[in-house]
Chains A and B, each alone.
Chain A
Amino acid sequence: MEAALTRTPIATVGIAALLIALAVAHPAHAQRAQAELACAGTITVHVYDCTVRLSRGGRPLEGARIVVGADMPSMPLAHVVRPVTATPGAIAGEYTFRLALEMSGRWAVKLRVEAPVRDQLIVHYDFSETAASPARR
């Protein structure tokens, strides 16, 4: 992408991207993955250790590559959290990652699964300075 940006004028790429977006038909829906998230505070303020259990069709989803981000729904577009990649945990389908947020409150944790299936899951979670709990909605 970087190379394309430097070589091609942005307008051309933009128009091309728009045309591609226009031309492609809407996709088939594959079976979605399910996520169970559990986070806990660490000794560092606003840093949390999280575990996510991924499953698909009731079976653990193994060997997944997950990139994790987060948004704050009450302040849309105000925060950008540096994405982190999750590492496989002890149990099949379990992955762990460390999340560094900017402030307390309700966050929408974005789990982007890139392999073996492509998927994107959103889990709402409440974070205080040193603790975390699933969002009651």
Chain B
Amino acid sequence: MDAYTVGVFTNIGLLSFLGLSAYVLLITGELSFGQQAFFGVGAYAAGVGTAMFGLPLVVATAAAMASGALAALVVGLPTLRLRGLYFAMATLAAAEMFRILFELLHWQRDVGGERVGPDGTQGFRGIRWVFEQGIEAAGFLIVVYGVLALLVAALVFVERSRLGATLRAVGEDPEQAASLGIDILRLKLGVVAAAGAVAGLGGALYAHHTTYVEPRNFDIMLGVHGLAYALIGGLGTALGPLLGVVLDIGLLEGSRLFAGYRMIVFGGLVALLLVIRPRGILDERIVHGWRHRAWRPR
């Protein structure tokens, strides 16, 4: 693989975390415009961990996931009762608040004779742990996909379990689910936290990939892309959001067929696709079909 291909695949892998974060909420029937904030929280937290305090990446990443989950809970708790558009708007407002807080965050430390840490709109430079470990681009690509594979496997496992069925039941008809004795509020908090942790995980890897982050990375455009990836790829399986990213970054950006017109082509494709398949390419019906075929005795 040449450097360009490695770059494209790394971006696909990193954006998949954002798509999966949106997906976890979508299957429970919630639409969030704010997952980019938790991606950002994870990026900053992991950067603080490795660059400012010299923690190993694994520890910093765990801290980033916890921070992402915590931030998501802070947003989720006061908005638990909200649904649909109201929840979406609340997450959007919260995410923009986080972005502005990143702009106001100045916290630097002297590390090896250099000031390191978040510096407001100037961003947070020198998140060089991966670089300084001598992990090359291809090696980091493997790390990204290793973590992504674990995450997808975990999501698939959860979806096939009783919990997965409960989540989808809540997503389809919350009133009916509640009447069956499901504690919707508790479930929703759990899902909000999990989606925050997934975004935080992606953010931690992102920060170490670029070696610098800045507040403008985490504006609403990034979040809506994550949302769109999940919805295009399909809500039937955790592989759906990955397919969504591959279509945009892999097929359109990677192929360079539509250089300069990529957004126009992708935008038109998405709008048309959603007419044919409102719940994405790999929607519940298709995935259901697969399972039946797989289980049919020979």
Contact = CB atoms under 8 A, between A and B. Distances in A.
Answer yes or no: are A and B bound together in one complex: yes
Interface centre among A10, A14, A77, A118, by most B CB within 10 Å?
A77
A5 B54 CA distance: 30
A29 B114 contact: yes
A22 B142 contact: no
A27 B134 CA distance: 10
Given A10-B142, A18-B143, A24-B133, A137 B54 contact: no
Interface string A27-68: 111011000000000000000000000000000000000010
Contacts of A15: 146
Interface centre among B114, B121, B132, by most A CB within 10 Å?
B132
Nearest to A84: B3
Given A21-B133, A21-B143, A102-B260, A2 B1 contact: yes
Interface centre among B128, B139, B219, B259, by most A CB within 10 Å?
B139
Nearest to B5: A80
A73 B145 contact: no
Interface residues of B, number: 56
Contact of A18 (B132, B146, B249): B146
Interface stretch (B154-162, B167-175, B208-216, B285-293): B208-216
B56 A18 contact: no
Contacts of A18: 58, 143, 146-147
A34 B224 CA distance: 37
Nearest to A19: B58
A29 B112 contact: yes
B135 interface: yes
Contact of A77 (B122, B125, B249): B249
Nearest to A106: B216
A92 interface: no
A74 B146 CA distance: 27
Contact of A22 (B58, B221, B259): B58
Interface in B109-160: 111-114, 121-123, 125, 128-136, 138-139, 142-143, 145-147, 149
A21 B78 CA distance: 38
A136 B245 CA distance: 33
A137 B121 contact: yes
* Main secondary structure on B side of the interface with A: helix
Contact of A14 (B113, B143, B206, B217): B143
B50 interface: yes
B206 A122 contact: no
A91 interface: no
B287 to A, nearest CB: 23
Contacts of B260: 102-103
A9 B231 CA distance: 31
A67 B221 CA distance: 29
A73 B216 contact: yes
Contacts of B135: 17, 21
**Shortest 7 CB-CB contacts between residues of A and residues of B:** A14-B146, A29-B112, A1-B138, A80-B7, A77-B11, A26-B54, A27-B132
Interface of B: 1, 3-4, 7-8, 11, 14-15, 50, 54-58, 111-114, 121-123, 125, 128-136, 138-139, 142-143, 145-147, 149, 206, 210-212, 214, 216-219, 221-222, 225, 249, 253-254, 259-260
